[in-house]
Amino acid sequence: MIEILKDRKKQVFQKGAETGDRGIVCEKASLAGSVSQRACVFCGSRVVLYPIADALHLVHGPVGCAAYTWDIRGSLSSGPELHRLSFSTDLREKEVIFGGEKKLYAALTELIKAYAPKAAFVYATCIIGLIGDDVQAVCKKVQAEQGIPVIPVHSEGFRGTKKDGYKAACEALFRLVVEGGGQPGFPLSINILGDFNLAGETWMIKEYYRQMGIKVVSCITGDGRVDEIRESSRAGLNVVQCSGSMTQLAKMMEETYGLPFKRVSYFGIEDTAEALYSVARHFDDLQVMRKTEELVRSEVNRIYPEVQHYRKALEGKKAAIYVGGSFKAFSLVKALRHLGIQTAIVGSQTGNPEDYEYLKEICDAGTIIVDDTNPLELSRFMMEKDVDLLIGGVKERPIAYKMGAAFCDHNHERKTALAGFEGMLNFCREVYASIMSPVWQFSPARQRRATMEQTFSEEITKAMFST
C-alpha cells in the first residue's frame, strides 16, 4: 500500500493484508489542514429536509449557505415546488453586530404571507450560533401569529459533522410527527423514510408498495408533505432507507409510539427484493406475501436479461467507491458484483465501526477500506489498484476523469433514478456507458495501461516459452 500520513493510518484498512483483527478507526474529526471531502452540520440538515416541498426553507445567516444549496438536489415534487426556491436572511455586518432576530422575524412574516406554506424550517448557520440569536423565540412568536409550525433547525456548521445535521433534521421532523400523534393506526401501512425522491425514486418505491397492497402514509422526506408527516405516527411500520440520516427519527418514533422500524436498501436486485420481502414478512399477511413474490419475480425476470448483457462486457472490471453514507456502499458492492465488477477500494465520509466491519465482511481480500479519505490518497489508491470506475459525488468526478477512470454519480444531486429494479437497470446502463465509452482510448492513462498490459503479457509469454 502507498504511504499514508501517520495520523490517518488507522483510518485505512486492507482486507487480508493486516495481521491481527484490528478495527478501522472512524467517526473522527478530519485532520485540520486536510482536503476533506466532508461537509458540515448545516449541509446535513439541509439535504435531509430539503425535499419537503410544501414547507418554507429559510436559511438564517450570510448568503453563501443559501446560495450553495440552491436547487442543486434533484428531489422531485408531484405538487408544490416551494422547496426549490432559495430563501436567505442574507445577514450583513450590522446584524452580525446587533443581532439578526428582527430581520429573521420580518423575513418569516413576509414569506409566510407571500407563499402560505404548510410549515417553515429555519436553519441556523454557523454565525447564528456565535452571535446568539434566539431563533427558538422568534420561531415561537411567528408560529403563534401565523398559525403554522415554525421550526428552528440547529444546524450551526461547526457543531459537528453532517451526521449531527441529520440529527438536527430528525429533531425538527419529530416536532411535526408529534403534532398529529396518538391517533389510531392504519392497517398494513408504512412510512418511507430516507428516500429523497432523486429523479422520482420515491414514486417508483411507492408503486411497489401499492402493488403489494400496502398503504404508504408518508414519505419522509422525498416528495414530502407536511400534513403527511403529521399523520406518520399512525403507520404500522417505518421503513428506513438512508439509515445515516433517518434512523434517529425512526428510533424516536419507536420510543414514543411503539412504532417498529426496519432498515432497508432499494439499491440493487438483492437488496430491493429483500427490502420488499422484509416489509411483507413484518405484516405476516398471506395476501401481501403472495403479491410481493409476484412483484419481485416479474421484475427480476424483466430486468435480468439486460443485466446479463451488461455483465458480459463488464466482467473483471475493478471499481472504487467513495460515498457519503456507508449504507450506500454496502449495496453498491453487491450491485457491482452482479455486473461482475470487483470493488477494489471502498470508503465513506461518515461510516461507524459496525459499518466498516460489515464492509470488511462483504468485500474480497485485498480491498482497501477507507474512512474520510482525501483526493490525494484516493487518487493514489486508484492508481495502485488500477480501477476502471469510480463511484462518488461531485468533487470526485473530475478526479476520476483526469485519471482515465469511468464515473458514476451516486450522490444526492444525480438526475438518474438508481433505486429499485428499474434503478438497477439505470445503474447498469450508466456504468456500462461510462466504462465502455470509446473516449477512454484518448486518455493517456489508459494508453499507458494498455502499453503496460502488453509488456506484461509479453513477459508472461516469454516466461511460458523459455522453459
Partner 1 sequence: MLLRHTPETITDRSALTINPAKTCQPVGAMYAALGIHNCLPHSHGSQGCCAYHRSALTRHYKDPIMATTSSFTEGASVFGGQANLVESINNIFTIYSPDIIAVNTTCLSEVIGDDLPQIINKARADGKIPPGKTVIHANTPSFKGSHVTGFANMTSAMVQYLSERSGKKIPQINIIPGYVEPSDMAEMKRISLEMGIKSVLFPDTSGVVNSPLDGKFHMYPKGGATMEAIKSAGDSTFTLALGRTASLPAAKLLDTKCKVPFECLDLPIGLSATDTFVDCLRKTAGVSVPESLMVERGQVVDVLTDMHQYFFGKKVALIGDPDHLVSLAQFLTDMDMEVLYVVTGTPAGPKFVRRIRELTGEKTIVKEGLGVDMFQFHQLIKNAKPDLLFGNTYVKHIARDEDIPLIRMGFPIYDRVGHQYFPITGYRGALRLLEKILEAILDRQDRDAPEESFELVM
Instruction: Tell me how far, at minimum, the Cβ of 29 lies from partner 1, in Å.
Output: 6
Identify the residue among 18, 19, 21, 33 touching partner 1 (CB under 8 A): 33
Identify the residue among 17, 158, 456, 457 touching partner 1 (CB under 8 A): 158
Q: What angle do CA 176, 178, 183 make, to 5 degrees?
A: 120
132 binds partner 1 (CB under 8 A): no
Phi, psi of 227 (to 5 degrees): -65, -35
Peptide bond between residue 221 and the one before it cis (omega within 30 degrees of 0): yes
Angle between helices 286-314 and 201-212 (to 10 degrees): 140
Identify the residue among 10, 15, 84, 251 touching partner 1 (CB under 8 A): 84
Instruction: Return the H-helix or E-strand segment holding 14.
Output: strand 12-14
Total number of residues that touch partner 1 (CB under 8 A): 76
Q: Find the part of the chain contacting partner 1 (CB under 8 A) among 35-43, 265-273, 292-300, 307-315.
A: 35-43
Identify the residue among 159, 175, 311, 334 touching partner 1 (CB under 8 A): 159
Instruction: Tell me how far, at minimum, the Cβ of 252 lies from partner 1, in Å.
Output: 23
Contacts for 405 with CB less than 8 Å, ≥ 6 apart: 320, 382, 387, 388, 389, 390, 445
* Span 238-257, contacts to partner 1 by CB under 8 A: none
Nearest partner of 422 among 205, 211, 197, judged by Cα: 205
Q: Which is nearer to partner 1, 161 or 191 (CB)?
A: 161
Identify the residue among 14, 25, 36, 181 touching partner 1 (CB under 8 A): 36
Q: Find the part of the chain contacting partner 1 (CB under 8 A) among 47-55, 77-85, 185-193, 299-307.
A: 77-85
**DSSP string over 310-348:** HHHHHTT-EEEEEESSHHHHHHHHHHHHHTT-EEEEEEE
Nearest partner of 346 among 424, 433, 432, 410, judged by Cα: 410
12 binds partner 1 (CB under 8 A): no
Cell of 236: 404500522
Q: Which is nearer to partner 1, 106 or 460 (CB)?
A: 106
263 binds partner 1 (CB under 8 A): no
399 binds partner 1 (CB under 8 A): yes
Q: Classify residue 376 by its DSSP letter.
A: H
Exposure string of 432-454, with b = 16+ CB inside 10 Å and e = fewer, is: bebbeeeebeebebbeeeeeeee
Identify the residue among 10, 68, 175, 186 touching partner 1 (CB under 8 A): 68
Residues 71 and 57: beta-carbon distance below 8 Å: no
96 binds partner 1 (CB under 8 A): yes
Nearest partner of 45 among 164, 202, 207, judged by Cα: 164
Identify the residue among 14, 15, 70, 148 touching partner 1 (CB under 8 A): 70
435 binds partner 1 (CB under 8 A): no
Contacts for 56 with CB less than 8 Å, ≥ 6 apart: 82, 87, 111, 112, 115, 117, 119, 120, 121
Cell of 102: 428582527
CA–CA distances in Å: residue 29 to residues 115, 206, 408: 40, 37, 27
Q: Which is nearer to partner 1, 326 or 350 (CB)?
A: 350
Identify the residue among 21, 32, 258, 365 touching partner 1 (CB under 8 A): 32
Q: Classify residue 188 by its DSSP letter.
A: T
Q: Which residue has the cell 403527511?
A: 228
Question: What residue type is assigned to position 248 of the chain?
Answer: Q
For 344, what's the count of Cα atoms within 13 Å in the CB-facing half-sphere?
A: 20
111 binds partner 1 (CB under 8 A): yes
Cell of 184: 389510531
Measured distance CA(25)–CA(370) in Å, rounded: 9
Q: Which is nearer to partner 1, 33 or 187 (CB)?
A: 33
Instruction: Tell me how far, at minimum, the Cβ of 290 lies from partner 1, in Å.
Output: 43
Q: Find the part of the chain contacting partner 1 (CB under 8 A) among 95-103, 254-262, 298-306, 423-431.
A: 95-103
Identify the residue among 1, 5, 137, 452 touching partner 1 (CB under 8 A): 5
161 binds partner 1 (CB under 8 A): yes
Q: Which is nearer to partner 1, 83 or 291 (CB)?
A: 83
Measured distance CA(82)–CA(229) in Å, rounded: 17
Identify the residue among 15, 25, 30, 357 touching partner 1 (CB under 8 A): 30
Instruction: Tell me how far, at minimum, the Cβ of 137 lies from partner 1, in Å.
Output: 17
Q: Which is nearer to partner 1, 61 or 423 (CB)?
A: 61
Identify the residue among 15, 262, 311, 397 touching partner 1 (CB under 8 A): 397
Question: What residue type is assigned to position 402 of the chain?
Answer: K
2 binds partner 1 (CB under 8 A): no
* Span 356-385, contacts to partner 1 by CB under 8 A: 375-376, 379
126 binds partner 1 (CB under 8 A): yes
17 binds partner 1 (CB under 8 A): no
